[in-house]
Structures are given as C-alpha cells and as structure tokens.
Structure 1
Amino acid sequence: MTVGPRDVLTGGVACGWCSLPEPMVGEALVRAGFPAVLVDMQHGMADLAAAFSLIAAIQRSGGHAIVRIPVGDNATASRLLDAGAAAIVAPMIESVEDAAAFASFVKYPPLGNRSWGPSRALQLSGEGAESYRTGANGTTLAIAMIETARALEAIGDILALPGIDGVFVGPSDLSIALSDGAAMDIDSPANLAAFDRIVAATRAAGKIAGIYGASPAHVRRYRAIGFDFVTLMSDTGLLAAGAAAALAESRG
C-alpha cells in the first residue's frame, strides 16, 4: 500500500527544509531519514526549474516534496503539483478569501479550478491519468500559512474550507505580528498561546497542523504541543551546525 503525504505528515514527524537550489541536497535530506522535504521558494534560492528538479530528486529518493510558493503566487502552485509536488504551502494567508483563492489552484473541480496537465507527476509516480485525477484532491495537499494576527482570528473559517487540508505556522512572522512589530521572539507567551489555539482549531477541523522548528528542542516542544509535522531547521542551518560541530571536535 502506498503511503501518501497525508499519512506522512502526522504524528509529530520531523521534515527537512531545502533553501538551496540543488537536487542532491533534497536527496541527501531524504536519505538522512526525513520522510518529507519542504522546498522554499519564498525565501530560498530555488526558481521554478530548480524546484522541478528538487521535486523529482526528493520523490525518487522515497520522500515527499512539499513546496512553499512565493506570496500570492497561486498559479505556480498548480505547476508544482503538475511537477509531482505532494503538498503546497502558501505564505501570508490572512482570510477565507485568501485561502479559497489558493485552494482553487490546488484542487480539481468540484473543490477548485486546477487545470489538467500533470504530465511530470504521472511520470514520477507511474500512476494512471484517471487514477491520479480522481484521487488528487485527497492526496495533494493545500496548506495555508498562519503567521499574522488577522490569520489567527480567521483560522476557524480558513480550516472550514473543504479545499484547505491544513495550516503551517511561521513562528517568526507570527511573533512580529502579535507584538505589533516590537520584537521577533518565537518563544513569546503570545506565540505559545497562539500555538495552542492553532492546534486546537486544527484538531477540531480534523486537519493537519505544521510548524517551522528552529532547533531540535523546538521540534520536541512542538510535538508535545500537538503539531502533526515540524520542519527541522534548514539545509544551510544543518550544514553550518554540522560544520561547526565537526570543526570543534577536530580541535579536541
């Protein structure tokens, strides 16, 4: 039985994060044990061509590719799904209208208006066209980012949309928003209260809750809060941390 992304992104699993536009990095993260890798097109260096190559490398290595699109770039969501992405994360979703517009590009009718053309996705999966078409709305995920006060207030309505499969929290932006720009503190009391609220709303809706984890300690903390999946650091962060640890050890 094939394990889909909905099954993978549950149970507090730690996922990789790829900012570099290099397919071998995505592959290395999967081979290191991450069941899914998020390709960051918002703040990372991957353009569309690099994202296509990363999706293929991640999937061929046995992982699931999640892609975060640039703000408001919903049309790219459809292209990334056609390339084989398992899930799309959309940043700065602040309202039901934002979420509905995003979901319309991820889901086929009747949930959305995604255009047909998943040629690369079919090549990578080996799935038949009709099987893909009838199952895609349940297996390719639309995940809305919650990272502003306005989004937090609307989370129940956002999660109620049939085309939205879950939410993903950006702790840094959320802390900036909740402090009215005064500070970036991912561990602030306001953030921690918001996390509990987000997890409760997601569970009530029967959907998926994810969050960015800045460290292994944050991953453990967010699992305990109840998040379904947590991305661990980033490729560049892991490289820097590993290099520093190896250098320190080599010096004795």
Structure 2
Amino acid sequence: MPFRVDPATSFKADLVPGGRARVGMWACTGNPLVTEICAGSGLDWLLIDGEHSINSLESISVQLQVAAGYPIQPVVRLPINDTVLIKQYLDLGVQNLLVPMVDTAEQAAAAVAAVRYPPHGVRGVGSALARASRWNRIENYLGRADETVTLLVQVETAQAVANVAEIAATDGVDGIFVGPSDLAASMGYLGQQEHPEVVAAVEQCIRTAKELGVPVGVNAFAEATARRYLDAGVDFILVGADVALLARASEALAARYLPQTTDAEDERASY
C-alpha cells in the first residue's frame, strides 16, 4: 500500500495580521546545500528566487526537497506573472508563490485564476503526474489544492502603489510584498531605496494593507530600515540573502588578513 501524505501547512497560516512578523532571507545560489544550510538557520521563511537568480525548475524542486526537512516556510518567486509558469511551479510542489511586478488588480486576478483549478480558475489539471499531489498520494488533492497554496503578489512600481488598495483587496490574494529596489527605480530614484519618497511609498502600502487586514511584507537588508518597517507593522520581511552574506563575509576576510593596496597598486594589478 502506498503512503498517504498530508500537505505541508501553507505560509498564509503563519501570516496572521497583528501576530509576530515572520523573518526570512533569500536563497539565490541555486545550490541545494546552501539552501539547506539556510533552511536550518532558525529563520521563519526562505525565498527561493526564480526572477533574478540562476534557479530553474529542476533546482527549485531539489531545494524544496531539502528545505522540507526543516521547520521553515519555502516561498518561491516566479520570473513573471505567467499562467503556464505558475502551473509548472505549482505542479513541482511549490505551495507558496510570490508573483513579481503586479501593477493592477486585473493582473492580481490573473495570478489568482492561475493558481486555482476550474471552475474557479484556469490551472491545468495534471495532478497524477505531479509532485504537488505526491503523485495522487495526497487524498483529494484536487479538492484541497486551494488550502495548500499561498499567493503573494509584489508591489514594486509607482503604478502598483497607486493601485495598492485594489491589488490587496483582490479575492484570492493572500498578501502583498513591497519591493523597494524596483519601486525606487520606478519613482526615478534608482539605487536609492532609502530615499524619503520611496520610504513614504512603502509605508503607504503598509498602512493600506493593514487597514484592509491583508498581510504585508517588505524587503529590507539595512537593519535600521528593517526595524523601521517592523515597527510600522509588516507581517513578513526579508533581511538578507545567501549571496550577499557570502560576498560581504568573504570581503571581510580579505580585508582582515590581506594588506590593503593603494590605488596605484590596484591599477598595476589590473594589467
């Protein structure tokens, strides 16, 4: 007899407005060993990135498998709000999706439709072939699929901020996530996530989501900024990334143990 499997608890069960903020980090290397190290960190959630990283369907699948052994919520970001890609991510077992660049309520509704089976959506039915249902070892997966999926949409342009209330209120959206980097660029402040107007826009999104009772998250690597948004009431936050931690820590080792060169020496070394 095959083993019967229960699906893991979805991230939305942890995102209770007014509860403790869930703190996480990015997984960008595409390496399952690195992801497993991060999964055992004690953080609440891990964002496996499919937009700005090397990750593929295959590497995401393996990372989901290694993260499953730890008490952490894996969330996966798609590269684009696309019905076919959403179907593929869901079928390989992604339960918590972050969809980037959602600027309107209509785009949010399209993402909702993509994660739901007919008659409530357009998700293709291939559960017998898919890890999502553990190859039909999750009893009544088709009827229970909605409860296993958390859909987060990313607000990261000036247009999205203008439409944030409608986006957050879209039926089926389980939370919004504000991306200050692209938001700053959209507002004409490329690379200036700390610009007062950008911070004000982020805080506007946080207030709007809280008024609607919708979970809201944000990305903030600078600790002072992260603390500010935590104090503003975000429900989930990303405070670091595997690649950034490795880059800064390796640079710190070099600075600690190697003699510091002058600009002239650096120029000669470049030839």
- TM-score category by the smaller chain? 0.7 to 0.9
Q: Where does 1:214-233 land on structure 2 (aligned, <5 Å)?
A: 214-233=221-240
Aligned partners of 1:55 and 1:83 also within 8 Å: no
Q: Where does 1:183-194 land on structure 2 (aligned, <5 Å)?
A: 183-194=190-201
Q: CA deviation at 1:109?
A: 4.0
Aligned partners of 2:10 and 2:147 also within 8 Å: no
Q: Where does 1:1-252 land on structure 2 (aligned, <5 Å)?
A: 3-9=9-15, 11-118=20-127, 119-123=130-134, 128-130=138-140, 132-178=141-187, 181-246=188-253
Closer, same or farther in 2 for the Cα pair 1:96/1:67, shift >3 Å?
same
Aligned partners of 2:189 and 2:195 also within 8 Å: no
The residue type paired with residue 138 of structure 2 is G
- For residues 67 and 121 of structure 1, the distance between their equivalents in structure 2, rounded to whole angstroms, comes to 14
- For residues 189 and 217 of structure 1, the distance between their equivalents in structure 2, rounded to whole angstroms, comes to 14
- For residues 9 and 109 of structure 1, the distance between their equivalents in structure 2, rounded to whole angstroms, comes to 26
Which segment drifts farther, 59-68 or 103-112? Answer: 103-112
Unaligned runs of 5+ in 1: none
Q: TM-score, normalised by structure 1?
A: 0.87
Closer, same or farther in 2 for the Cα pair 1:210/1:127, shift >3 Å?
farther
- For residues 216 and 109 of structure 1, the distance between their equivalents in structure 2, rounded to whole angstroms, comes to 44
Q: CA deviation at 1:90?
A: 1.1
Rg comparison, structure with higher value:
2
Per the alignment, in what secondary structure is the counterpart of residue 181 of structure 2?
helix
Tell me the number of residue pairs that the alignment of Structure 1 and Structure 2 aligns. Answer: 247
Q: TM-score, normalised by structure 2?
A: 0.81
**More helix, by proportion:** 1
The residue type paired with residue 43 of structure 1 is H
Q: CA deviation at 1:8?
A: 3.1
- For residues 189 and 219 of structure 2, the distance between their equivalents in structure 1, rounded to whole angstroms, comes to 21
- For residues 115 and 206 of structure 1, the distance between their equivalents in structure 2, rounded to whole angstroms, comes to 31
- For residues 252 and 13 of structure 2, the distance between their equivalents in structure 1, rounded to whole angstroms, comes to 34
Aligned partners of 2:9 and 2:148 also within 8 Å: no
- For residues 92 and 44 of structure 2, the distance between their equivalents in structure 1, rounded to whole angstroms, comes to 19
Q: CA deviation at 1:123?
A: 3.1
Deviations 1:141-172 (A, max 9, x none): 11111111111111111112112111111101
Closer, same or farther in 2 for the Cα pair 1:74/1:220, shift >3 Å?
farther
Per the alignment, in what secondary structure is the counterpart of residue 152 of structure 2?
strand
Closer, same or farther in 2 for the Cα pair 1:78/1:159, shift >3 Å?
same
The residue type paired with residue 25 of structure 2 is G
Aligned partners of 1:19 and 1:44 also within 8 Å: yes
Which segment drifts farther, 77-86 or 166-175? Answer: 77-86
Which segment drifts farther, 105-114 or 58-67? Answer: 105-114
Unaligned runs of 5+ in 2: 1-7, 259-271
Q: CA deviation at 1:25?
A: 1.4
Per the alignment, in what secondary structure is the counterpart of residue 241 of structure 1?
helix
Aligned partners of 1:106 and 1:141 also within 8 Å: no
Closer, same or farther in 2 for the Cα pair 1:250/1:13, shift >3 Å?
farther
Aligned partners of 2:24 and 2:240 also within 8 Å: no
